[in-house]
């Protein structure tokens, strides 16, 4: 064999050895399943709790949640127009039922996953004492702008309006009312000082507002329709099995205890 052919043969061996070394790695990569995901549409009031729960759900199941948030009415409209969600977590019980009635959601998947609570929050240094008092309501009655979520698309906004109506204050306060796109936006309007008062979710206040000056007045459920938040699996999903795993997780005892600490529970 000539010297040139021998040199060419030896130069070929390193490439063969490299291929043999890489091939098992490629086989192992092909054997590793892609991570499972579930696309969840969630009402804005529940975005923070869901992000916390998603971490635990991932640890327990290896399933990642892809989360899209907005007002319940906006998400309902998106789903009705074919948005690619697998599960819908609403801030009420009406929209999930409507999706079932219209053939967009799986009837036997309907669950109540949370009970929302609202408070009146006066974010003003002059309202420091005491922290939790009906005086907060009295101050609202006589002065200051109020923020509530848009009652046309946000169940928390509807509950706020019903509460003011049942307290015989709506007509008086309506001219001083501004509307947030959703309950999270409403909270920010108060938090940033753009308005004096807001009817906000207790959960959001516990997370971000309680360290701020001002007063609060818990609004009893007797003044508004129950804020029973329901979830439903959408018919368009191809992930029905993992969607049901998520729904079971969402209603187990440990999750319910966590949500109670975050401001979700019947008063």
Question: For 103, left (φ over 0), alpha (ψ -120 to 50), or beta?
Answer: left
Asked if 170 and 142 sit in the same domain, the reply is yes
Distance, CA of 7 to CA of 12 (rounded, Å): 9
Asked if 85 and 210 sit in the same domain, the reply is no
Asked if 94 and 137 sit in the same domain, the reply is no
Asked if 48 and 79 sit in the same domain, the reply is yes
Distance, CA of 149 to CA of 153 (rounded, Å): 8
Whether 93 is covered by a domain: the verdict is: yes
Asked if 107 and 236 sit in the same domain, the reply is yes
At residue 122, what are phi and psi to the nearest 5 degrees? -105, 110
Q: Count up the domains in the chain and report the number.
A: 2
User: What is the tens place of the pLDDT at every residue in 104-153?
Assistant: 999 999 999 999 999 999 876 555 455 567 888 988 988 889 999 999 99
Asked if 177 and 194 sit in the same domain, the reply is yes
User: What is the tens place of the pLDDT at every residue in 20-78?
Assistant: 454 554 444 445 566 799 999 999 999 999 999 999 999 999 999 999 999 999 999 99
CATH classification at residue 71: 3.40.190.10
Domain that residue 88 falls in? 36-115+228-261
Secondary structure (3-state) at 75: helix
Asked if 210 and 130 sit in the same domain, the reply is yes
């Amino acid at each position: 064999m000539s010297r040139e052919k021998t040199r060419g043969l030896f130069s070929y061996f390193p490439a063969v050895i490299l291929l043999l070394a890489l091939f098992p790695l490629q086989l192992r990569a092909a054997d590793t399943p892609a991570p499972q995901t579930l696309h969840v549409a969630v009402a804005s009031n529940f975005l923070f709790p869901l992000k916390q729960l998603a971490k635990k759900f991932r640890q327990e199941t290896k399933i990642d949640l892809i989360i899209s948030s907005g007002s319940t009415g906006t998400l309902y409209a998106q789903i009705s127009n074919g948005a690619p969600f697998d599960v819908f977590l609403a801030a009420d019980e009406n929209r999930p039922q409507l999706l079932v009635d219209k053939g967009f959601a799986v009837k036997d998947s309907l669950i109540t996953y949370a009970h929302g609570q609202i408070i009146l929050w006066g974010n003003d240094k002059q309202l420091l004492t005491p922290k939790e008092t009906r005086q907060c309501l009295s101050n609202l009655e006589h002065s200051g702008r109020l923020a509530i979520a848009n009652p046309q698309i946000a169940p928390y906004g509807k509950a706020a309006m019903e509460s003011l109506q049942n307290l015989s204050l709506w007509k008086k306060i309506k001219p001083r009312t501004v509307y947030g796109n959703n309950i999270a936006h409403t909270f920010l309007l108060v938090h940033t000082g753009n308005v004096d008062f807001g009817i906000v979710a207790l959960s959001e206040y516990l997370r971000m507002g309680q360290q701020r000056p001002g007063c609060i007045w818990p609004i009893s459920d007797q003044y508004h329709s129950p804020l029973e938040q329901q979830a439903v699996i959408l018919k368009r999903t191809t992930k029905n099995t993992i969607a049901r795993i998520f729904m079971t997780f969402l209603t187990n005892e440990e999750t319910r205890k966590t949500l109670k600490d975050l401001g979700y529970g019947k008063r």
